[in-house]
Structure 1
Amino acid sequence: MAKKLVIIDTDCGIDDAQAIMMALSAPDVKILGVTCCFGNTSLENVCQNVLRVLAVCKREEIPVFQGLGGPLVGATELPKDHFGSDGLGDILVDRDPDWRQKIQKEHAVNAMIRLVSENPNQVSLVALGPLTNLAMAVRLDSGFPDRLKDLFIMGGNMEGKGNVTLCGEFNFVTDPESAYIVLDEFRCPTHIATMEYCSRNKLTWEFFQEMLNQDSAAARFMKLLTSKCGAYSPAAMKTKRDVHFGPGFVSYDSYAMAACIDGTVVTKSTECGVHVELQGSVCRGMMALDPTDMLKKPHRVVVMTECDLEKFSRLLAKSLRQP
């Protein structure tokens, strides 16, 4: 059976790292490349973070490409405390001074277009950060989305509840124009793991601890990354996530990756047109669903709503059993 061909576009923070490990642990997945964009941290940190994850998992043969370092419009505003200033909890002190030599010379957007052109209608693209690289790809090659097999996005929201603004989710708010372009112009099958989907299908903190206590290099690495990070502390997250969704452990980007690896992980979804709002001080970056087709969108996306938590937890646990 042929392996599923995947490109991962990431702003590699801690949950991105876990999602990448999930793909690395899937026997029927072949990662053609990892394309990097700004988001959880600077582009330079993202590139180094991806290289570190691949090294821990002994998969350094996978090419890593450097992409765009800021949004299409406006200034770059990076988070200051969620995953630390470096995106991986500010724990890693032994950074590789030669990391630039390990990054491919080809720009991430060009690599994305090339890899999909070489494998038309066979590549699944998993977008785990702001959609800047994807938006630029369709601007450089309008036929790019038509050659994708499908697209999986972690981002956006369903109900106007935000996690960085009143109404907006981080990945979409970080570059609303790119989110608008991708959801308006990508006509390939598109699947979205929204903030609400991830948060409502959380796992227990007990499972999180059991997962980290596995005897493997990947588990020890993840335990180190999360050891001082407030986003992985039940006490620290109580006043944040519990307000809307109750207590529990959420590895946001892993939900989109799990859906790509095994579609049966998603047990319920809604298919409809969507719109990303670009105006206003309150709703800019918010994703609105259009189940009654008021906007007459020519393309409908699949918005995930319910998850098989047993299958999802197995994929998460397996991701930390390597190498």
Structure 2
Amino acid sequence: MERIILDVDSAGDDILAVLFAAANPNLRLEGVTTVTGAAGPIEQVTNVVLNTLALAGRDDIPVHAGAWRPIVGNAKADMEAPVHFEKRLVARFGDRLKKFNPPASTPSRQATPGHAVDFIIETVMANPGEITLVTTGPLTNAAMALLQEPRLTEALKRLLVLGGNFQTPGNITPLSEYNIWADPEASRIVLNADVDKILVPLDICEDNRVAASMLTRDDLADMQAGAMDNPVLEMIADSFPIYIDIWREFFDLVGFPMDDVITVALAFDPGLATTTEPLFVDVVLDGRIARGQTVAYRGRQLLPGGGPKTTRICTDLDGRRFLDMFKQTVAQYERAA
């Protein structure tokens, strides 16, 4: 069983990732840490996680609030791009948009005392070689943990990082993916760290080459057809059709890409993806269009540079097997008759 800490920013697929991690028998979810990102301020992000775990019946899992802003960040208007994105969709989807990233209701419990960074450090250092840190949002918490405790690189079992893009165009700029772009300085710290990493880019998540991994209305219908009393599936079937429609119409994908769930699944089944050999991966900090671009050192360059070759980049995915795994895990929430 793989022991993980899941670091999220509570966008739509983060919710599915938390539900997946909390129920999958191959995982032991040691805790969830939160970071400001695509879903909004840290209070919203944290409350979404608390409500999601309550729905899952897993109030035993600690939830620690983390970074409320990036280390440096970008222009204020640019950082608010996800909010402006929602406003652009109002004319097309109307009232249906109320189910897209809605304000979280007041949770039934409070976040666990203590900062996310301290929880990551304390948990990993107390269990050397046993904890995998899975990040599905901006990398601020992970970077601060590595800066605060340099021994973390030796104590972590592995890092799973959702972020970056190499062949698939970026979703913030043509060159940049959101998680890396949202805090490029933090991303560089994490990706430059001398620790075993698997990087999960847009290439194997938000590209129709891996369409079999995306959630569609047909998938929701199939899951509902075999269910009797599953409150988690009821929530997914009620809330996620709008996500499916947005990603079909705005991003030209066949369904809703489950980037975050894929990243969690790779923690215990890395064979789901094809990866490169270990490479050094850096992050561009300059400019506007290129800021947040991930760059892999693949060949031989004349100018000095580079660093530890510790990052395997995912290049392909067994989407059908992944989606079957997701459906089987959601079925774990079926209530006994």
Question: Smaller-chain TM-score range?
Answer: 0.7 to 0.9
Following TM superposition, by how much is the alpha carbon of 1:217 offset from its aligned partner in structure 2, in angstroms?
1.1
Q: What aligned pairs does 1:273-292 form with structure 2 within 5 A after superposition?
A: 273-292=280-299
Following TM superposition, by how much is the alpha carbon of 1:88 offset from its aligned partner in structure 2, in angstroms?
6.7
Number of the residue aligned with 1:143: 151
Unpaired runs of 5+ in structure 2?
A: 90-96
Following TM superposition, by how much is the alpha carbon of 1:238 offset from its aligned partner in structure 2, in angstroms?
4.0
Number of the residue aligned with 1:237: 247
- In 2, Cα distance between equivalents of 1:177 and 1:272: 19
Change (3 A) 1:139 1:268: closer
1:219 and 2:224 aligned: no
Kept after mapping to 2: 8 A contact 1:271/1:291:
no
Number of the residue aligned with 1:210: 221
Greater helix share, structure number: 2
- In 1, Cα distance between equivalents of 2:53 and 2:135: 18
- In 2, Cα distance between equivalents of 1:123 and 1:166: 34
Identical columns (%): 27
Kept after mapping to 1: 8 A contact 2:275/2:315:
yes
Q: TM-score, normalised by structure 2?
A: 0.84
Change (3 A) 1:128 1:82: farther
Q: How large is the RMSD of aligned CA atoms in angstroms?
A: 2.5
Number of the residue aligned with 1:201: 210
Number of the residue aligned with 1:80: 83
Change (3 A) 1:106 1:310: same
- In 2, Cα distance between equivalents of 1:116 and 1:88: 36
Change (3 A) 1:195 1:88: farther
Number of the residue aligned with 1:313: 323
Q: What aligned pairs does 1:1-323 form with structure 2 within 5 A after superposition?
A: 3-40=1-38, 41-74=40-73, 77-78=79-80, 79-80=82-83, 89-91=100-102, 95-96=105-106, 99=109, 102-159=110-167, 161-185=169-193, 187-199=194-206, 200-203=209-212, 205-210=216-221, 213=224, 215=227, 216-227=230-241, 229=242, 231-233=243-245, 236-242=246-252, 247-294=254-301, 295-323=305-333
Following TM superposition, by how much is the alpha carbon of 1:17 offset from its aligned partner in structure 2, in angstroms?
1.0
Kept after mapping to 1: 8 A contact 2:198/2:312:
yes
Task: Give, as a single letter, the amino acid of the residue that structure 1 aligns with 2:83.
Answer: K
SS in 2 for 1:182: helix
- In 2, Cα distance between equivalents of 1:87 and 1:115: 37
Task: Give, as a single letter, the amino acid of the residue that structure 2 aligns with 1:30.
Answer: R
Kept after mapping to 1: 8 A contact 2:279/2:308:
no
- In 2, Cα distance between equivalents of 1:81 and 1:320: 32
